Amino acid sequence: MATTTTAPAHTMPREHYLNSTYGIRSWLLTTDHKRIAWLYLAGVTFFFTLGGIFAAMIRIHLLTPNGLLVSPETYNKLFTMHGVAMIFFFLIPSIPAVLGNFLIPLMIGAKDVAFPKLNLLSWYVYITGGCFVLYAFATGGLDTGWTFYTPLSSVYSNSAVAPAVIGIFINGFSSILTGLNFVVTIHTMRAPGMTWFRLPLFIWAHYATSIIFILGTPVIAITLLLVALERTLHLGFFNPVLGGDPILFQHLFWFYSHPAVYIMILPAMGVISEIIPTFARKPIFGYTFIAASSIAIAVIGFFVWAHHMFLTGESTYAALAFSLLSYLVAIPSAVKVFNWTATLYKGSISYDTPMLYALGFIGLFLIGGLTGLFLACLGLDIHIHDTYFVIAHFHYIMVGGAIMGYLGGLHFWWPKITGKLYPEFLARVAAVTLFVGFNLTFGPQFLLGFMGMPRRYHNYPPEYQVLNVLSTAGASILAIGYLLPMIYFTWSVRYGKAAGPNPWPATGLEWTTASPPPTENFEVTPVVDWEPYDYKNRPDLGLAAPVVPLAPAHGDD
Amino acid sequence: MEVLAPAEALDIETEEGYRVHRTGELYGQYQTLEQQKDSATLGMWIFLATEILFFGGLFLTYSINRQAYGQVFAFSSRTIDLKWGAINTVVLIGSSLTMAMSVWCAQVGKKKLVTLFLILTLALGSVFLGIKGIEYHAKYVEHHIPGLSFDLYYCTNNPSACGLSGQALENEKIELEDLTAKAGGPDAVNAHSQLFFSLYFGMTGLHALHMIVGAGLLISLILQSLKGRFTPEYNTPVENIGLYWHFVDIVWIYLFPLLYLIDRH
């Protein structure tokens, strides 16, 4: 960045939330939202690494048509455990529990979340659920697929289903508590002057996410509890032999698990909405539309679940309705993409690392979103249902979208979280590596799926080998892209240069306090008297762009 | 929302130090008591919304299965003792009344009455749980516990164990035969009836669990109330636990007709 060379060297504040108290107790019993974010960071990084190892084994296994590494039974366990670790213990908590926890009070000018003790409790609930699942992994694994379809999961599977579903049941309450805490915090803890339409879009995205946490998670909790009861006490809720209905399980499961996709992507969209205007040096285009589209995605997202079940024999009219509603989700999603691109238009763009992730996100999310429309189409879905096309589609959303957003956000706020700068050049290399590796991994899988390779199979016909080898090659590049940030982030905590309060510079309230912030976040309760993302009228930030008053007819806000 | 001027806010912090979590009734993350109360109340309402969806999964499972096996559900429902269910409904509504009274007393500052009404609420809640225990025991005697030598025909085969005799026994037998013929054999009837009783125990069990949690919360309220902690200025815990208690009551209001009154004419 050009300005860093001329700016005076920053120093770390003498006392901040990281050094105000010492010792393991001060971390494990903390109620400081910023430290709880670190606890979550440790948790999700562990599960991400675990899920990544499973993914690596899957990709190595699929190098040859008959499978290279493991037995078919173990292969079933690998993809199941990959899904469970990644979805329930990494993707769902990742951005909300790490970045959201750290940033929401800072962004709205509060000292902490509304219920700090509940916040700590939700981490312990997460860890307890995680321990159950790890116990399941270690004692027999899990081979039902992350979807736990009955009666395979409730009766026939020989793996450790009961501890796993109990673990996910427990983990659900962590999500519920986090969502509850966020909604209340956003409602009641805003600083004077921080009106609803001055809230950063990151907050709007988390508000929408929290609604899904609150309304969706209890349903999966009760459903998995019923599966656990069915398995341990031999009841028959979902077992057709005993008069139960397995399709009912699928309805209940997807009622949560489809909105859960939006739990993963909405916070990432919030991150992107912060990064884009910062590095385009322009006010965000269509603030209200982006904010409202987050809520719209959360609401419509609750009415599309049965598009996972087009092939279960559900009524054609139900399928038509769900297909139409699934198409509707594309509208608020497209609103976001158009607004981000419009923000870039005529901006003075700089390609700092967070921006590279944000630009990557837009492209990958576009591909992931548009291929979602293929799957929402009733006729086409019959052809590509349960193929690698689906795998590629949701990895474009979850990895290309959610993880790109998560990493972009980590890079963007790392100076705030740690007070240190990471090595910029290395970070850019990592971002590009990730982008290339990701596309090489999952691009070929679209082709494989379209050619008919089914998901969850441990072997495949020889003609699919070239694309599978390409995919595995991409996965190894992707792995480097993940390892690099882990290394240089860790390095920067100790050896990085002091970042100063506002290194980019950006307009959010979180950048007005020291980096790292003091325990109570702000020395004095801030009063907000500016509009969000007002990069044109903030000479106090030292932005080089001259203040050019716009002609009234072209007013953009 | 009233907001303290920055200087005033600073005063609180410097006097007590940043690491002191509470200043009197006010927790450190809040600026004012109103803000604290608003947060707590909103939090409780949101929690209750999650509870509705939590129970909602069970209600949906119930509806689907009742639709599929209406006759077996009706028959199974009639084996539950209506008398105890009705008494329990009255007891629980009574406990909601005493809870509401204790909230009101806390708001107007009648400190001794708060404690009294809280103890009454706890007592009525305990009566409810005791009666629930009696009902569960009856189901155990009648072999109506799913997965535990379940047999819907047990009572007609061993009338003395269930206290059946005379015309009632004959009616039961006739209806059960009719049911068996329609469902396609005793195994199917037992399977479908087990679904009913799984839901009966699942729903009332989850409800009872909420009652037990509520009882624990009431005990903590009573202990605080004995110390005279609740005043017209600070009574949010009584109000919010009151909300929770009423919610648990409302769940029962739905459970009672769905489980006891399907087929009573």
In tens, the pLDDT along A389-405 reads 999 999 999 999 999 99
Instruction: Please provide the size of chain B in residues.
Output: 265
* Number of domains present in the structure of chain B: 2
Report pTM. Answer: 0.92
The DSSP secondary structure of A352-373, one letter per residue, reads -HHHHHHHHHHHHHHHHHHHHH
- Domain match, B103 and B27 both: no
Q: Is residue B184 part of a domain?
A: no
- Domain match, B45 and B86 both: yes
Contact A188 B39 (CB under 8 A): yes
- Domain match, B22 and B96 both: no
pLDDT of residue A95 exceeding 70:
yes
Q: What is the pLDDT of residue A548?
A: 53
- Domain match, B107 and B6 both: no
Which tens digit of pLDDT belongs to each residue from A326-336?
A: 999 999 999 99
Domain CATH for B219: 1.20.120.80
Nearest-CA distance A243 → chain B (Å): 6
CA angle centred on A410, ends A54 and A263, rounded to 5°:
65
Nearest-CA distance B117 → chain A (Å): 28
Q: Is residue B144 part of a domain?
A: yes
- Domain match, B78 and B207 both: yes
Which tens digit of pLDDT belongs to each residue from A184-231?
A: 999 999 999 999 999 999 999 999 999 999 999 999 999 999 999 999
Low-confidence ranges of chain B (pLDDT < 70): 1-24
Q: Is residue B159 part of a domain?
A: no
Query: In this complex, is the C-beta atom of A520 within 8 Å of any C-beta atom belonging to chain B?
Result: yes
- Domain match, B3 and B121 both: no
The DSSP secondary structure of A425-483, one letter per residue, reads HHHHHHHHHHHHHHHHHHHHHHHHHHHTPBTT-S---GGGHHHHHHHHHHHHHHHHHHH
Q: What is the pLDDT of residue B3?
A: 43
Contact B147 A234 (CB under 8 A): yes
- Domain match, B9 and B98 both: no
Neighbours of B1 (CB within 10 A): 11
Contact A243 B191 (CB under 8 A): yes
Give the whole-angstrom CA distance, residue A4 versus residue A374.
46
Give the whole-angstrom CA distance, residue A77 versus residue A99.
31
Contact B61 A176 (CB under 8 A): no
Residues 105-124 of A with CB under 8 A from B: 110-116
The superfamily CATH assigns to domain A30-542 is Cytochrome c oxidase-like, subunit I domain (1.20.210.10)
- Domain match, B64 and B103 both: yes
pLDDT band, residue A8 (cuts 50/70/90):
low
Mean pLDDT of chain A: 93
Which tens digit of pLDDT belongs to each residue from A360-378?
A: 999 999 999 999 999 999 9
CB < 8 Å to B20, chain A? none
Residue type, A243: G
- Domain match, B50 and B135 both: yes
Contact B13 A180 (CB under 8 A): no
CB < 8 Å to B10, chain A? 524
Q: What is the pLDDT of residue B150?
A: 84
pLDDT band, residue A492 (cuts 50/70/90):
very high
Contact in structure between A550 and A556 (CB atoms under 8 Å)? yes
Q: What is the ipTM of this complex?
A: 0.90
Contact A229 B198 (CB under 8 A): yes
Q: In which domain, by residue range, is B86 found?
A: 33-153+191-260
Residue ranges of the domains in chain A? 30-542
Q: Report how far Cα A213 is from the mean position of its chain's Cα atoms.
A: 13
Q: Residue B168 burial by CB count (10 A; 0-12/13-18/19+): exposed, middle or buried?
A: exposed
Element (H, E) at A546: none
